[in-house]
């Protein structure tokens, strides 16, 4: 296939970026989207032009490293990660616009790479269960009902890719945060810190410059792990409860 790519180029966080247009021919429809960019980069390098910087690692949809806005959609036209998107999803002769995630909390590092360390800081604020190594009770001493275990698992599958933020008109990180809060809130082990956790995480989220949730739902629509929108309800519920008991 032959394609026209409009790619956002930006040499560093502080510089101005702009779109550049590249023509790539002879692309196999079996390639993944990132392999197509690999091919573009090999060709650019051969011509002595700076290759396009983009992030990826596992290339099997689990590490959450990759992530691009593809013609206006987070991760592109399919509900999957960018590395699992294949060129057969595009018509021959297509023009594709490729941009980095756009959000104040995710500053551009170079070209298509953004800084998502705000997510790590939200976890640092309280997205864990406090248990020191060696202090754990026998695993079978606390049974977990299967329904709760399954919901905890579903929420825990978030890969921290940031597509929810990129898709949201408010650049809110509520789906990401709701997923973590729900994962831990469903488990008996997560109860002692439940109220404090949600308050600390939400404060950090706002501090990082993510927007508020106005229930638009674009996040869940773009999420490659199909994290359900109702994790945000769990988060709001926990937050209200925590504030009521401990208004500050």
Partner 1 sequence: MADPRSNVDDPDSAVLAPVQVATDGPSDSPMANPTSAEPSVSAPVVPDAPDRPQAQIGDLVAGLYRLGEPIADTKAPDGPIEQKWTKRKFEAKLVNPANRRKLKVIIVGTGLAGASAAATLGEGGYHVTSFCYQDSPRRAHSIAAQGGINAAKNYQEDGDSVQRLFYDTVKGGDYRSRETNVYRLAEVSTNIIDQCVAQGVPFARDYGGLLDNRSFGGVQVSRTFYARGQTGQQLLIGAYQALERQVAAGTVTVHTRHEMLEVVVVDGKARGVIVRDMVTGEIETHLADAVVLASGGYGNVFFLSTNAMGCNVTASWRAHRKGAHFANPCYTQIHPTCIPVSGEHQSKLTLMSESLRNDGRIWVPKNREDCEKHPRDIPEDARDYYLERIYPAFGNLVPRDIASRQAKNVCDEGRGVGPKVGDFRRGVYLDFTEAIDRLGLAAVKSKYGNLFDMYARITGEDPYATPMRIYPAVHYTMGGLWVDYDLQSSIPGLFVTGEANFSDHGANRLGASALMQGLADGYFVLPNTIRDYLAAGPFENVESRPEVAEARADVQQRIKLLLEINGDRTVDSFHRELGHIMWEYCGMERSEEGLRKAVDLIRGLKAEFWRNVKVLGSGEELNQALERAGRVADFIELGELMCIDALHRRESCGGHFRTESQTEEGEALRHDDEYAYVAAWEWGGDDGDPVLHKEDLVYDFIELKQRSYK
Which residues here bind ligand FES, judged by CB under 6 A?
56-59, 61-66, 81-83
Could you say whether residue 101 binds ligand SF4 (CB under 6 A)? Answer: no
The answer to whether 209 touches 104, Cβ cutoff 8 Å, is yes
As measured in angstroms, the least distance from the Cβ of 63 to ligand FES is 3
Could you say whether residue 174 binds ligand SF4 (CB under 6 A)? Answer: no
Nearest-angstrom CA–CA distance, 63 and 245: 37
Please identify which residue in 37, 40, 112, 175 interacts with ligand SF4, judged by CB under 6 A: 175
User: Which residues are paired to 32 by β-bridges?
Assistant: 86
Residues that contact ligand SF4, how many (by CB under 6 A): 14
Choose one: 6-14, 123-131, 160-168, 200-208; the region binding ligand SF4 (CB under 6 A).
Answer: 160-168
Q: With respect to ligand SF4, which residue has the nearer C-beta, 8 or 106? A: 106
Could you say whether residue 230 binds partner 1 (CB under 8 A)? Answer: no
Could you say whether residue 149 binds partner 1 (CB under 8 A)? Answer: yes
Greatest CA span in the chain, whole angstroms? 64
The answer to whether 67 touches 161, Cβ cutoff 8 Å, is yes
The answer to whether 103 touches 174, Cβ cutoff 8 Å, is no
The answer to whether 118 touches 206, Cβ cutoff 8 Å, is no
Could you say whether residue 160 binds ligand SF4 (CB under 6 A)? Answer: yes
Phi, psi (rounded to 5 degrees) for 9: -115, 130
User: Which residues are paired to 22 by β-bridges?
Assistant: 5
Please identify which residue in 3, 34, 70, 164 interacts with ligand SF4, judged by CB under 6 A: 164
Q: With respect to ligand FES, which residue has the nearer C-beta, 166 or 187? A: 166
List the one residue out of 223, 226, 230 whose CA is nearest residue 166.
223
Tokens of 55: 């992030």
Residue 164: contacted member of ligand FES, partner 1, ligand SF4, none (CB under 5 to 8 Å, by partner type): ligand SF4
Q: With respect to ligand SF4, which residue has the nearer C-beta, 86 or 225? A: 225
Please identify which residue in 153, 196, 203, 240 interacts with partner 1, judged by CB under 8 A: 153
The answer to whether 36 touches 25, Cβ cutoff 8 Å, is no
Label residues 216-236 b or e (16+ Cβ within 10 Å = b): eebbbebbbbebbbebbebbb
As measured in angstroms, the least distance from the Cβ of 124 to partner 1 is 4
Residue 81: contacted member of ligand FES, partner 1, ligand SF4, none (CB under 5 to 8 Å, by partner type): ligand FES
């Amino acid at each position: 296939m032959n394609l026209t790519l409009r790619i956002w180029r930006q040499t560093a966080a502080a510089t101005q970026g702009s779109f550049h247009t590249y023509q790539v021919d002879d692309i196999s429809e079996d390639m993944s989207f990132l392999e197509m960019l690999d091919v573009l980069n090999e060709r650019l390098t051969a011509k002595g032009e700076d290759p396009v910087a983009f992030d990826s690692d596992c290339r099997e949809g689990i590490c959450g490293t990759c992530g691009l806005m593809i013609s206006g959609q987070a991760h592109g036209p399919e509900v999957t990660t960018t590395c699992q998107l294949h060129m057969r999803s595009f018509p021959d002769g297509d023009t594709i616009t490729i941009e980095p995630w756009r959000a104040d909390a995710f500053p551009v590092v170079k070209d298509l790479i953004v800084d998502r360390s705000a997510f790590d800081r939200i976890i640092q604020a309280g997205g864990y269960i406090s248990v020191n190594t060696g202090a754990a009770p026998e695993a079978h001493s606390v049974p977990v009902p299967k329904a709760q275990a399954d919901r905890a698992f579903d929420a825990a599958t978030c890969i921290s890719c940031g597509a929810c933020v990129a898709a949201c008109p408010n650049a809110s990180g509520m789906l990401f945060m709701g997923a973590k809060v729900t994962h831990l809130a469903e488990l008996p082990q997560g109860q002692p810190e439940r109220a404090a956790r949600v308050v600390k995480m939400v404060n950090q989220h706002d501090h990082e410059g993510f927007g508020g949730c106005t229930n638009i739902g674009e996040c869940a629509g773009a999420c490659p792990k199909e994290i359900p929108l109702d994790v945000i309800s769990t988060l709001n519920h926990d937050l209200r409860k925590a504030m009521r008991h401990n208004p500050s």
